[in-house]
């Protein structure tokens, strides 16, 4: 692959990115994900609480969240689940 071919590939990729509104779609996906986490978390905790017990389910789910997102996310999700 020559430098000219590489430049054409980069231009085509950038053009496709702009034509498909990739930046706006990514922002929309992040927005909807952010606002769907709290209700989804409540549903998951409720179902897991029926199977494993409420405290065990909450502890395991919040432990997983802390591992993925860090301690601040765990405390925020814990506050959301109490509300």
pLDDT digits (tens, 9 = 90+) for 7-20: 999 999 999 999 99
Q: Which residues of 20-56 are buried (b: 16+ CB within 10 A; e: fewer)?
A: eeeeeeeeeeeeeeeeeeeeebeeebeebeeeeeeee
- Domains of the chain: total: 1
Q: pTM score, two decimals? A: 0.53
Q: What is the mean pLDDT of the chain?
A: 86
**pLDDT (tens digit, 9 = 90+) per residue, 37-62?**
878 888 888 898 899 888 888 888 88
Domain of residue 49 covers 3-82
């Amino acid at each position: 692959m020559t430098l000219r071919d590489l430049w054409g590939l980069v231009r085509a990729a950038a053009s496709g990115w702009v034509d498909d509104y990739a930046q706006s779609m990514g922002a929309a996906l992040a927005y909807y994900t952010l606002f769907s986490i709290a209700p989804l978390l409540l549903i998951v905790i409720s179902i897991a609480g029926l199977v494993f017990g409420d405290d065990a389910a909450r502890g395991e789910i919040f432990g997983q969240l802390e591992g993925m997102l860090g301690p601040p996310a765990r405390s925020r999700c814990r506050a959301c689940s109490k509300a």
